[in-house]
Amino acid sequence: MNCRQRSSLSVSGSVVTALMAVHALYFFSRADITVKNPQRTEPRIQITLIPPKGGGPDKLDRIAGNVSGVDVKKCKVVLFALGGNTWYVQPYTASPFTTIRDDGKWENDTHLGSEYAALLAEASYRPPDTITRLPQVGGDLLAIAKVSARTQPARNSLVSSKTSADMRTIQFSGYEWKVKSSIDLVGPGPNYFSDRKKSVEVDDFGRLHLRILQQDGRWNCAEIISTRSFGYGTYQFYIDMSVDNLDPRVILGLFTWSDAPDYSHREIDIEISRWGNAENLNAQFVVQPYTRPMNIVRYQIPHGLDASTHSFAWKPDSVFCRSARGINNAPSATASVIAEHTFTQDIPQAGGENARVNLWLMAGRPPLNGMEAEVIMSKFEFIPHKE
């Protein structure tokens, strides 16, 4: 049985014969009238909450709608966002399905694009990660809705974050770092970011504390940016606490970034998050663009580790990522490695990028548990690449 609604009408054979006779008489006397089954409802899907236009791996918003004419317990919604000439499944390739509530309504996060599509499908439908053209209705695909992105007024042109010269700086692991601050919503998320000591602090033991705090009636996130550009080499981040069970909406990012758009902003990521779903794996290695399936590897940080080391070795032709148990810059593959992977495609060229660490909220939404969050890092280390 599929998720289409079925008529519950049943009649005996004698009744059917009588009805056929009446129908024939009616047809010949009124041939200009077509009689339709009033109980049949075609599957339909609508998008009622339309996200704005945009793009990028860290920009998300909400999309919502409703369905009718189906058994909602046997159907799913599949979302796509159009970026350039490609449709990307939403919100993530690891989470391609949106659940329909009993009242027929659905809602989820989506990365921003120029157009959005919602597909109503049987539970057996398996969507591709990317497509260049939306599929046709048929088989286990029951209905499609497509809309253009919502236009929105330009943001206030007043300064939304401090200039580089005005930014607070800290010393951590022998390097100088700028502390991100904003008075408006900015990426990633978007979120508000605070440079207060309560949000970003180096303690007496030299450990970095990043905190998501509820301040001034809003949630403020935290980010630090190295003033130095390191280039090719090994970036090692030593985490001094358990991070396997962060709130599902909290993201810890260990990454490189350049404000120039070349080579997808020269972004290489290790991200620790369950991306809004407590059932998801809790970490990933990424090179950009993340929308290509071979550029993202999901894995699980085990429960109960009170320390872990996360690193990526960036060379001109590859990026080798690794997460390991404990504070360990040379983990044994048999004893302490949690996950590792080598990327050989879409490797950015070095030039002008910075090392960054941030703690932020998915789509700028409050933590599911309603609690503030903290991550403690004992050390950052950079080892230059040698030819």
In tens, the pLDDT along 12-28 reads: 444 434 434 434 433 33
Out of 3.10.129.10, 2.60.120.200, 3.40.50.2300, 3.30.200.20, select the CATH number for domain 169-384: 2.60.120.200
Strand 208-215, strand 200-202: pairing: antiparallel
Q: Is the peptide bond before 91 cis (omega within 30 degrees of 0)?
A: yes
- pLDDT of 8 reads 42
Alpha-carbon span 218 to 199, nearest angstrom: 13
Contact (CB, 8 A) for 5 and 104: no
Classified as helix, coil or strand, 365 is: coil
Which letter does DSSP use for residue 156 in this model?
P
Q: What is the pLDDT along the chain (387 residues), one digit of tens a residue?
A: 567 665 444 444 444 344 344 344 333 333 333 334 445 589 999 999 998 887 766 677 889 999 999 999 999 999 999 988 899 999 888 789 999 999 999 998 888 889 999 999 999 999 998 999 999 999 999 999 999 998 754 333 233 456 566 899 999 999 999 999 998 888 898 899 999 999 999 999 999 999 999 998 999 999 999 999 999 999 999 999 999 999 999 999 999 999 888 888 999 999 999 999 999 999 999 999 888 889 999 999 999 899 999 999 999 999 999 999 998 777 665 669 999 999 999 999 999 999 999 999 998 999 999 999 999 999 999 999 987
Locate 253 and state its tokens.
């990012």
**Cα 66 to chain center, whole Å?**
22
The CA distance from 116 to 79, in Å, is 7
For residue 19, the model assigns a pLDDT of: 39
* pLDDT tens for each residue of 314-349: 999 999 999 999 987 776 656 699 999 999 999 999
What pLDDT is attached to residue 23? 45
Ramachandran bin of 143, using left for φ above 0, alpha for ψ from -120 to 50, beta for the remaining angles: beta
CATH topology of domain 44-148: Immunoglobulin-like (2.60.40)
**191-229 burial, b for 16+ CB within 10 Å, e for fewer?**
bbbbbeeebbbbeeeebbbbbbbeeeeebbbbbbbbeee
Boundaries of every domain in the chain? 44-148, 169-384
Q: Judge whether 109 and 90 are in contact, CB under 8 Å.
A: yes
The single residue listed with the structure tokens 């930014």 is 167
Give backbone dihedrals phi and psi of 364, rounded to 5 degrees, phi first.
70, 20
What's the distance, CA 190 to chain centroid?
12
